[in-house]
Amino acid sequence: MQEELARLREAALAEVASCGAEGELEAVRVRYLGRKGLLTQAVRGLAAVAPAERPALGALVNEAKDAVEAAIAASGERLAAERLAHRLAHERIDVTLPGRRRPRGHAHPLRLIEDEIVDVFVGMGFRVAEGPEIEDDYHNFAALNFEPDHPARDAQDTLFVAPGSDLLLRTHTSPVQIRVMRAAKPPLRVVVPGTVYRRDDLDPTHSPMFQQVEGFMVDERVSFADLKGVLVHFLRRIFGPETGVRFRPSFFPFTEPSAEADIACFRCAPTGAADPACRICRGGRWLEVLGAGMIHPNVLRAVGYDPEKVQGFAFGLGTDRIAILRYGIEDLRLFYENDLRFLAQFPS
Ligand SMILES: [Zn+2]
C-alpha cells in the first residue's frame, strides 16, 4: 500500500508538471482527487487495512493529497500568469497609431448636377415641385394630350405596375405639371426634378431608370421668346457664358409649337470645323440637350385653364445627359453602378 501510494503521488506530480493549460490541470485534479479519483479511492482503501497500520498510512495518504493539491494550485497560478502575460503581449494597443478615418461621403454626381440645374431656375423665380413616381394613365399620358393609341402607351415602352393596370412608372416628369396646374392657378413658375422609367435595356446610352428635370411657366402673355430667354440663360449658366445655343423644330404631344435645344459642341465650337473624330459630337458640332415648347392648349384645358387667357411654356431635360456632357463621361451605366472609385471623383 505504501509503495502504491508513493507511485500514485509521483505519477500525479509528474502529470501536474507536464500540464500546459489550466484545462489539463483540472483533468489531472479530477483523475486523482475527484470523487472517484485515484487518491480518493486510496483513502477508502484504508478501511481494509489493519487498525494498527491505519494512522501511519492515513498520514501518508493525506500527505500525498496535500502535495498533489499544492502542486496543482501552484501550477494553476503559473498557468494563469502565463495566460495573462500572453494576452498582454498579443492584445497590446498602440495608442500612438493614428485612428481609422471613416471615409467621408458626398452627394452623387447626378444629384450634384440636379442641384445645380434646379438652382439656376430657382434663381429665375421658379419654385420646386415633386410628384409620385407611380402614376396613372391620366396624369402621365391622357392629360398631356397623348393620343389613345400613342406608342409610348405601349407596354413595350412603358413599365406598367401590372399587366392591364392603369398604374405605371412615370415615363417623364411632365405629370407633375398636370398635378401642379390642377392644384394652383397661374402665374406659375415651377421646376420639377425627379426619377423616370422607361422600358429600355441598360447600355452605355440607355437606362431603364434615369433622371429628368421638368420646368414650366404659365401666365398671361407668356411667349416663345420667354422660353428661349429662360433656356438660353440656363444653358449658358450650366455650360459657360459663350455656349452656342440653337433651337430646332420638333414634336411632342403636350407642346405646340415644339422645339429641341442644342448646344454647340464645346470641343469643336472654337475651331468651327466639323471633326468626325470628336468623341463628344462625332462631327455633328451640335449636342441635343433638351426638349421644349409652348404648352398645348389641350393640356391647359385639361387642367381647367382657358388657353385664350393664359399661355405657358414647358421644357424637359435629362439630368444624366447634362452630367455626361459636363463630366465628359461616355458610359451612362457608371452613374448607376455605385462604384466608389467612380463616385469619389465628384467631391461636392
Ligand atoms: Zn465635337
pLDDT in tens, 71-120: 888 888 988 898 899 988 888 888 888 888 887 888 999 999 999 999 99
102 domain-assigned: no
CA of 327 to the centre of ligand 1 (A): 14
Same domain, 183 and 142: yes
Name the amino acid, one letter, at 46.
L
CA of 249 to the centre of ligand 1 (A): 22
305 domain-assigned: yes
Mean pLDDT of 281-286: 85
Expressed as residue numbers, the domain containing 283 is 109-343
Average pLDDT value for the chain? 90
236 domain-assigned: yes
CATH code assigned at 307: 3.30.930.10
Same domain, 143 and 256: yes
Q: Are 214 and 170 in contact (CB under 8 A)?
A: no
332: how many CB neighbours lie within 10 A of its CB?
A: 19
CA of 275 to the centre of ligand 1 (A): 6
**Whether pLDDT at 272 is above 70:** no
Contacts of 179 (CB under 8 A, 6+ apart): 129, 131, 139
**Whether pLDDT at 22 is above 90:** no
Structure confidence at residue 307 (pLDDT)? 96
CA of 263 to the centre of ligand 1 (A): 11
104 domain-assigned: no
CA of 237 to the centre of ligand 1 (A): 20
348 domain-assigned: no
Same domain, 54 and 162: no
Same domain, 116 and 238: yes
Same domain, 117 and 179: yes
Q: Give the closest residue to 156 by CA, choosing from 185, 199, 218.
A: 199
Structure confidence at residue 4 (pLDDT)? 81
Structure confidence at residue 13 (pLDDT)? 86
152 to each of 146, 197, 213, how far by Cα in Å? Answer: 8, 12, 19
Burial of 277 (0-12, 13-18, 19+ CB in 10 A): exposed
272 to each of 161, 265, 284, 288, how far by Cα in Å? Answer: 49, 10, 11, 18
The count of structural domains within the chain is: 2
CA of 274 to the centre of ligand 1 (A): 7
Lowest mean pLDDT among 22-26, 126-130, 136-140, 233-237: 22-26
Same domain, 118 and 248: yes
CA of 268 to the centre of ligand 1 (A): 4
Residues in the chain: 348
Q: Please, which pLDDT band fits residue 270 given cuts at 50, 70 and 90?
A: low
Domain end residue (candidates: 58, 90, 122): 90
Mean pLDDT of 319-334: 89
208 domain-assigned: yes
Q: Please, which pLDDT band fits residue 149 given cuts at 50, 70 and 90?
A: confident
Domain end residue (candidates: 39, 59, 90): 90
Structure confidence at residue 38 (pLDDT)? 84
